[in-house]
Amino acid sequence: MHLRHVCIEVPATETALGSNRKLLAIVATSDAYKEHTYDDAMVYLHGFPDMSVHPTKVDFASRVSAKLAEFWVHQNDRNNIFVTFNFAGVPGSDNELRFTDKLISIEVEDTIAVCKYIRAQLLRGNGKVHTVGLSTGAILGALLRDKHMSDTITVIAGLLDMTKGVHFDFTKNQLEQSEQRGWCWKEFYLVESCPLPKNVELSLDGIHSTTELTDANAPSKIFVRLDKDYIDEYYDGSLNILNSVSGSGLPPLLVIHGDADTDVPYANGEEIFAAAAEPKTFLSIPGANHMLSNSKHLKKALRAIGKHVAGI
């Protein structure tokens, strides 16, 4: 599999903030095919707090993105391309927007910009875009369904009700911090050799700030200041998953959920599937956890995704 870094621009004209930003992405193709345009593309949306692309190495930063890429580019008789990226504010994509200023609505803008880039720069003719999102990435995938940017959508460990989701992404203490201070310490996990997030306040314990951290001495788990605006979007109704998945003329939706998921309980997958309009498919994976960390569970999900995208 051949990998390369690319920088994808989100134009100022397509952002609520009115300023452009650049996203670090990785493009994967088979070693046998390295042309300029491809038959079909798959884009993977990572969760929160997480990343997909190593900021300093041409490599993936997560197991799911790596396995999905390997599966996709080796499909028989297709010249496929796989794209994943770090959302704005995540290391590698934090030159213009700090982690502290992240919003889910900004990540929707990022996703749309990446889909447009793929269609304009990487696909030939009637090439298709297939989007797969995990966890918070599944929220973004669901919100993308009515934007007519992707030909299929797959949501893994997703949900329907954002007001429930805030309690999956944030602890009681973090929500109290946010209410009292207007911000909270949000945990973030650094892959090996990953630089620290830029221009942000950091903590080692989620209580006290520190100025002692450097790229060289940072542990794998740190805490980063995140402003309350991120949490407010879970409640303000601006991110309406029900509206996004229940309209007419929407692309096929595949909902995948493990029944042993303790991070986003299984009932949430059932809820979004029940609310979604046809065409839709549900895959329940017995015993699977949130990250599908058992290889047989991930392989089952990959087979379902392959069947899902082949149906259009």
H or E segment and range at residue 103: none
213 CB contacts (<8 Å, ≥6 apart)? 196, 202, 204, 222
Contact between 292 and 301 (Cβ < 8 Å):
yes
Tell me, what DSSP letter sits at residue 60?
B
Q: What is the C-alpha R_g of the chain?
A: 19
Distance of CA 94 to the CA centre of its chain: 16
Tokens of 15: 């952002």
CATH superfamily membership of 2-160+240-310: Alpha/Beta hydrolase fold, catalytic domain (3.40.50.1820)
- pTM, 2 dp: 0.97
Q: What is the pLDDT of residue 75?
A: 86
Q: What is the pLDDT of residue 116?
A: 97
Q: What is the pLDDT of residue 114?
A: 98
Q: What is the pLDDT of residue 52?
A: 98
In the sheet where 202-203 sits, what is the strand order?
183-189, 221-227, 202-203, 209-210
SS3 23: strand
Which residues of the chain fall below pLDDT 50?
Answer: none
Q: What is the pLDDT of residue 24?
A: 99
Q: What is the pLDDT of residue 25?
A: 99
Q: What is the pLDDT of residue 171?
A: 98
Give residue 77's region: left, alpha or beta (phi > 0; psi -120 to 50): left
CA distances from 273 to 139, 178, 282 (A): 13, 31, 7
HEC profile for 116-183? HHHHHHCEEEEEEEEEEEECHHHHHHHHHHHHCCCCEEEEECCCCCHHHHHHHHCCHHHHHHHHHHCE
Q: What is the pLDDT of residue 34?
A: 66
